[in-house]
Amino acid sequence: MAPTYKQWTTELDGVDKLKMGEAPMPGDLQQGEVLVKIRAVSLNYRDIEVVSGDYAHHQSLTQSSSLVPCSDMAGVIVSSKSSRFQEGDRVLSIFNQTHIKGQVKESDMASGLGFPLSGVLAEYRVFDGEGLVKCPDYLSDEEASTLPIAAVTAWMSINTFNPLGQYLDVSASSDTKKPTLLVQGTGGVSVAGLQIARAAGLNTIVTSSSDEKLARATKDLGAGTTVNYRTHWEWQEAVMKATDGAGADIIFETGGAKTLRKSFDCIAFGGLISCIGYLSGKEDGSDEVNRLNINVLALRRNVTLKGMLNGPRERFEEMLDFYAKKGIKPVVSKTFTFDEAKDAFAFVRDGQHFGKVVIKVST
Ligand SMILES: NC(=O)c1ccc[n+]([C@@H]2O[C@H](COP(=O)([O-])OP(=O)(O)OC[C@H]3O[C@@H](n4cnc5c(N)ncnc54)[C@H](OP(=O)(O)O)[C@@H]3O)[C@@H](O)[C@H]2O)c1
């Protein structure tokens, strides 16, 4: 019988309907391709949306009927026809497989792993060698698998306007007034942002719905100021107070509809709001508090509002150098076995995690 490997597939009809199945081992590789044995996969909020059939805000992408979900993996090359990698090399996937340099193009979105391309929640996958980066030696497979979407998006949300090689790092500066980063929640992007900001010497503010998670952000990761957005709904006031009325220089806008107005009220003059996600909804309310007049809001404090879509391979590699130099260890909240993949999706869907959730595929 021909050799097979195991994989999970989705018909975009819900986490509960994920199916474990088998696929034939790939045949001969094309020039430039590699076969990767996948060891660890990390989950992103996007994966929950894809599997649930809710990932519909990128108009150029159409829903396919069945696919292997997930985009972020760490693995090892088992055979190579790429000049970039050899058998035995540890590697990480990049999210949009064709996004190598510079600004993302609409055409790059067609190469997103785990939608619209089939993804990585499988024991093996063939990649173009161009769509991978070398895995840092000091990180475990589980830790490293968390980096492609969450950490790269966090890196770009801080450094998007800094040229390659000139990333923000004031850790050695004697200037007493350091920039402040505000992250919303304690999910994958926010925790990576907090870790990067701390290593780069920035002041940090974290919001969360959980006092326990905030205590962890302070104790384990050295967060500067923490605010519970559930018990202190006017958290923008706490941000202004913590910054002596100046506001945060960079805000990770992961909340969306119910948080953007607040971000405009606590951004520093000339600051950057990186629009990353929409966990509180995709559409503004029509009431006084949630209705936005973006033109005036952006203008009154000279704000830059920038939509973020992950980042290119060259910035991922830049970030990996920074991580290694600073010894940053990504935060893995919980690791599930390959057989427990459905439980891992449900865990992220229900917001139980702090940082990242990982599925261990193989050793
Ligand atoms: N544009 C991009 O390239 C890109 C890349 C990655 C992610 N994203 C988007 O960014 C968002 C975060 O992604 P993720 O993977 O980090 O998600 P995640 O790990 O699932 O993080 C979710 C966390 O966000 C917090 N949260 C939930 N509802 C919130 C609300 N109404 N206001 C503020 N915070 C809230 C919660 O933190 P607490 O439990 O601490 O309250 C929750 O645990 C998602 O919308 C995702 O689609 C975009």
Are residues 118 and 162 both part of a single domain? no
Q: Would the CA dihedral through 88, 94, 98, 99 be positive or negative?
A: negative
Distance 94 CA to ligand 1 centre (A): 20
Q: Is the CB of 344 under 6 A from ligand 1?
A: no
Q: Compute the C-alpha angle 151/357/137, nearest 5°.
A: 55
Model pLDDT, residue 187: 96
Question: Which residue do the tokens 């150029």 mark?
Answer: 60
Grouping H, G, I as helix, E, B as strand and the rest as coil, residue 282 is coil
Residue 313 belongs to a domain = no
From the CA of 81, how far away is ligand 1's center (Å)?
Answer: 38
- Is residue 333 lining ligand 1, measured as CB closer than 6 Å? no
Are 22 and 90 members of one domain?
Answer: yes
What distance in angstroms lies between residue 262's CA and the mean position of ligand 1's atoms? 16
Q: What per-residue confidence (pLDDT) applies to 116?
A: 95
For ligand 1, whether the C-beta of 189 sits within 6 Å is yes
Structurally, the chain folds into a number of domains equal to 2
Please tell me if the CB atom of residue 311 comes closer than 6 angstroms to any atom of ligand 1. no
Token pair recorded at residue 219: 């104790």
In a domain, 324, yes or no: no
Q: Is 312 inside a domain boundary?
A: no
Residue 187: CB within 6 Å of ligand 1? Answer: yes
Shared domain check, 130 and 238: no
For residues 119 and 162, membership in a common domain is answered with: no
Is residue 182, in this structure, part of any structural domain at all? Answer: yes
CA end-to-end distance (rounded Å), the chain? 25
Q: Are residues 137 and 186 in the same domain?
A: no
Give me the sign of the Cα torsion angle 198, 71, 19, 49: positive
- Domain shared by 180 and 89, yes or no: no
Nearest C-alpha to atom 33 of ligand 1 is from which residue?
255
Coil, helix or strand at residue 52: coil
Q: Is residue 21 part of a domain?
A: yes
| Atom 11 of ligand 1: nearest residue by CA position | 277
pLDDT, residue 280, reads 85
Q: Is 308 in the pocket of ligand 1 (CB under 6 A)?
A: yes
Q: Quick one: pLDDT at residue 64?
A: 60
Establish whether residue 8 lines the binding site of ligand 1, counting it when its CB lies within 6 angstroms of any ligand atom.
Answer: no
Atom of ligand 1 nearest to the CA of 353: 43
pLDDT, residue 55, reads: 81
* Rounded Cα–Cα distance for residues 270 and 303 (Å): 5
Interior/surface letters 319-350, b for 16+ CB within 10 angstroms, e for the rest? bbebbeeeebebbbbebbebeebbebbebbbe
**For residue 339, what are the domain limits?**
4-146+330-360
Are 126 and 219 contained in the same domain? no
Any domain includes 319: no
pLDDT of residue 1: 79
Q: Does the beta carbon of 210 sit less than 6 angstroms from any atom of ligand 1? A: yes
| The predicted structure's pLDDT at residue 290 | 66
At 238 the pLDDT is 98
Integer Cα distance of 341 and 9 in angstroms: 11
Residue 309, ligand 1, Cβ within 6 A: yes
Same domain, 163 and 133: no
pLDDT tens for the chain, 363 residues: list them: 789 999 999 999 999 999 999 999 999 999 999 999 999 999 999 999 999 998 876 555 565 678 999 999 999 999 999 999 999 999 999 999 999 999 999 999 999 999 999 999 999 999 999 999 999 999 999 999 999 999 999 999 999 999 999 999 999 999 989 999 999 999 999 999 999 999 999 999 999 999 999 999 999 999 999 999 999 999 999 999 999 999 999 999 998 888 999 999 999 999 999 999 998 888 877 676 667 888 999 999 999 999 999 999 999 999 999 999 999 999 999 999 999 999 999 999 999 999 999 999 999
Same domain, 297 and 158: yes
Give the CATH number for residue 98.
Answer: 3.90.180.10
Are 80 and 128 in contact by the 8 Å Cβ rule? The answer is no
Does 114 share its domain with 257? no
CB 84 within 8 A of CB 129: yes
Q: Are residues 113 and 39 in the same domain?
A: yes
For ligand 1, is residue 278 a contact (CB within 6 Å)? yes
- In-domain check, residue 316: no
